[in-house]
Structure 1
Amino acid sequence: MSEEIAGRGDPLKVLHLLWGKDEGGRRGPKPKARLEDIIAAAIAIADTEGLAAVSTRRVAEAVGISPMSFYTYIPGKAELLDLMLDAAAGDPEGKQAPAFEPHAWRDNLTWVARSYRDHFLRHPWLLELYTHRPVLGPNTLLGYEVALSAVDGLGLDEVEMDMCVTLMANYVYGAVRDVARSRRVKELTGLTDDEWWMTIEPFLETIDFSSYPVSSRIGPVVGEEYGLGDPDRAFAFGLERILEGIGLLIERKARGPR
């Protein structure tokens, strides 16, 4: 697991910064930068160069303050990462949630899932940071509110609503991680999937695959259909299976106890 994960900083200091509750207020001359500009600069670096490129020095330079001045705004990088998570959750490029109606719960959850997916693909570094401890900032809580609203009014209890949202989020996280890693491996190797396959194909022709009858039957069909993978198709397939499962839960709740 990457060492760059959320939740390593002082949680109370992070909360004060997230909610604008300065502990005692800043003293001295007027600040040269705004907190939101510092966080935005860090996100821009992570988006273009990856999380490893984010440092307090780089971010300070990006907003025109000295590296030491950075610490008068944010205690350190650990806290910065938490602030980045919440700020990214309120990405202005994100889609506005529609007015959810209970009868359209499938459309509601599909919208949530695809919004999650788009969000991670815009900011793949988020996949490195998330842990089971949420960053309880205003943008994060708003996202949770929207997701819960997608399954509200369906007869599910509070825990079931939360579990449905968690199920969807976990599915999207795993599906997007694979897409992000596939993009990264292409960047690091300089090979497209087709080029990689052509490189190893001559050797594969020398192998006896008779010990693998099922994969020998399935593999060529899949390879002809979509090569090493079709992320959009795979995502839609998995999402539909999850929606079917949630649908069964809703139907069972509607029937009541037997």
Structure 2
Amino acid sequence: MSRPSPAIAPVPDEAPQPPAEGLSVQRIVAAAIAMADAEGLDGLSMRRVATRLGAGTMSLYRYVPGKDALIELMVDAVHGEERQAPPADAGWRVLLRYAARREWRLYSRHPWLLQTVATTRPPFGPNVLTELERTMQAMDGLGLAPVITHWVAIAVSAQVQGAALLLVSEVEEERRTGRTTLQWRADKMPAIREIIDTGQFPMLTRLLEEQDDVADIDAWFEFSLNRLLDGLAVFVESETRPPRTL
């Protein structure tokens, strides 16, 4: 699925940044995020972050207890990147779409983030909880039970995370093979067409005749998100409709 990929050039251990006036949690977290953006979480270590900062490894432990704690701080930091709020008078559908797109942009900028939050035990820092609260507030005033608004927030996030699996796998495959998805598709398309041209796949034949490149991941994400919101609209209407009087 073709789209611009985040920078994936490796961060060399041999080229540490000049040390500034002392370390801080913010500097450590920022360096770790930059490293994870470039290489993923597998190569992240306290030693490599220290080298990048021009510091000794043990000095980092004065600020961060270890790698797990560092990752939790990284997750919360990136969740606080976008400060702009949606219009105050927007309806629930606009607000949920806004929340979903904001989360989608997070995975676009930080592909490593998905594996840390798409779990039953995600990090819960203040920025993460702020995002959850904001998503739940989109349904405020509709008379829904708190557990339902929570489930709605989870459903929207799950929709984004499911789509982001493709987004992240694209980045990882490009990092692993050095080839873009467009290049991979160009290699595979002659064999695919040879199979389809047997006449056994009329629907796929029509698809390729109408649009050769159908793998726009952003357009597909918007389509799937809107269908989820359509379904929620039916649910909201049924839950908020006044009871019939006999």
TM range (shorter): 0.7 to 0.9
Question: Which residues of structure 2 form unaligned runs of 5+?
Answer: 1-20
Q: Which residue of 2 aligns with 1:9?
A: none
Q: CA deviation at 1:184?
A: 2.9
TM-score, normalised to structure 2, is: 0.80
Query: Residue 49 of structure 1 aligns to which amino acid in structure 2?
Result: E
Distance 2:149 2:168 in 1: 28
Query: Residue 107 of structure 2 aligns to which amino acid in structure 1?
Result: F
Q: Which residue of 2 aligns with 1:5?
A: none
Query: Relative to structure 1, is the Cα distance of residues 100 and 164 closer, same or farther in structure 2, using a 3 angstrom cutoff?
Result: farther
CA contact (8 A) 2:111 2:171 kept: no
Distance 2:60 2:183 in 1: 45
Question: Which residues of structure 1 form unaligned runs of 5+?
Answer: 1-30
TM-score, normalised to structure 1, is: 0.77
Q: Select between 141-150 and 61-70 the one with higher mean Cα deviation.
A: 61-70
| Equivalent position to 2:47, from 57, 80, 83 | 57
Q: CA deviation at 1:204?
A: 4.2
Distance 1:89 1:254 in 2: 32
Distance 2:125 2:183 in 1: 44
> 2:149 aligned with 1:164, yes or no?
no
Aligned residue pair count: 222
Q: Which residue of 2 aligns with 1:247?
A: 233
> 2:102 aligned with 1:115, yes or no?
yes
CA contact (8 A) 2:196 2:205 kept: no
Q: Select between 221-230 and 127-136 the one with higher mean Cα deviation.
A: 221-230
Query: Relative to structure 1, is the Cα distance of residues 193 and 219 closer, same or farther in structure 2, using a 3 angstrom cutoff?
Result: farther
**Percent same amino acid among aligned pairs?**
36
Q: Which residue of 2 aligns with 1:14?
A: none
Q: CA deviation at 1:202?
A: 4.1
Q: CA deviation at 1:166?
A: 0.4
Per-residue deviation, residues 142-177 of structure 1 (Å, max 9, x unmatched) = 111211111111221101100111000000011122
Per-residue deviation, residues 196-227 of structure 1 (Å, max 9, x unmatched) = 344334444554876x94xx122233334252
| Equivalent position to 2:204, from 202, 210, 219 | 219
CA contact (8 A) 1:124 1:180 kept: yes
Matches within 5 A, 1:39-118: 39-91=29-81, 94-101=82-89, 104-118=91-105
Matches within 5 A, 1:30-45: 32-45=22-35
